[in-house]
Amino acid sequence: MEPHGKIWKLLGEIPDPEIPAINLVELGVVRKIEGEESNLEITITPTYTGCPAKQLFNDLIKEKLEENGYKNFSITSTLYPAWTTDWLSEETKQKLMDEGISPPVAGDRVITCPHCGSTDTKMVSRFGTTPCQSFHTCNSCSEPFNYFKCH
């Protein structure tokens, strides 16, 4: 069994506060789990520097570990290397699409409509449902959608 497999599994049960369909491990927020079970060291990278969920990630992880009997652990937040959308697996990107959220693309160049797959889209607002998302409409199917902004 992978070291800390149990902890990875536990943290994988924590839904992202903003996009509950995906969890903190899928999102790439949980970077490293080190140390002994009696003294865990967890490293996280927030998805977005201005993201209000940043403190929430800490709280959610703390709560999850405490619920499961872990008492001694530290949670370190690091911005280096910066979170990148490359950390999202294809499966996670698909989950975002299923939620009607266009998954992030490096450089925010081509934004695909999660409803019909068209790249003929336009931004309506820099902020979507949450500050980490922007709001768009699709010129092909006219449906509105959120786009998960890049770091």
Contacting residue, 14, 111, 113, 132, with Zn ion by CB under 5 A = 113
Contacting residue, 116, 135, 150, 151, with Zn ion by CB under 5 A = 116
Residue 3 region by backbone torsions, left for phi larger than 0, else alpha for psi between -120 and 50, else beta: beta
Q: Which is nearer to Zn ion, 75 or 116 (CB)?
A: 116
Across the strands, what pairs with 74?
41
Answer for the pair 114, 102: CB distance below 8 angstroms, yes or no: yes
Candidate segments 26-34, 91-99, 102-110, 141-149, binder of Zn ion by CB under 5 A:
141-149
Q: Which is nearer to Zn ion, 84 or 137 (CB)?
A: 137
- CA distances to 20, 21, 87, 94 from 91, in Å: 15, 12, 11, 5
Residues of this chain that interact with Zn ion (CB under 5 A) are 113, 115-116, 118, 138, 140-141
